[in-house]
Amino acid sequence: KMPAFWLLIFGFFLLNVCCGGPSNHNVAFLQDLGYSTAFAAAITSGYMAVVAVGKIAAGTLFDRLGPPRTALLLCGACIGFPALALFCRIPGIPWVYAVFLGFTGMGPSVGISALVRHVFGDRDFASIFSLASMASTLRSEERRRGRAAYGRAL
């Protein structure tokens, strides 16, 4: 099970990279495309609402579809929202982008526990889950260091 563990850890890290960066830069990204600050903030608020609803709905998805199929949907959203970002100048697409990004945002919280339980079962769940959670938060540390380096460059 060791290769599965490290693959899962690496996947959680990539999931945080996938949704962590874009979610922090939505407003600036949309403003660079010519949208107003108010519209960009509305899109970001919509994204956060979808994250909240997604976390509630994720339990149902993981129960009904199973962790592998729900993880595939999550991976599809991880691929879908950057693709949609290319078309965000088209009216309406920023809202679809927010929905995809919001669905992806539920992965680092609900997805980790569901996938760890699916792969490793209930035995030693707490220790494996804590390691997976720590690995997924490496993204936040990397982001913090990046901000500090960016601040010094200014």
Question: CA–CA separation, 63 vs 70, rounded Å?
Answer: 9
Q: What is the pTM of this model?
A: 0.75
* Angle formed at CA 17 by CA 62 and CA 68, multiple of 5 degrees: 20
- Separation of alpha carbons 17 and 31, rounded Å: 22
Q: Enter the DSSP assignment of 121.
A: -
- Which tens digit of pLDDT belongs to each residue from 133-145? 776 666 555 555 5
* Band of residue 153 on the pLDDT scale cut at 50, 70, 90: very low
pLDDT tens for each residue of 85-114: 899 999 999 999 999 888 888 877 788 788
Statement: residue 30 has pLDDT above 80: yes
* Pairwise CA distance, residues 10 & 91, whole Å: 36
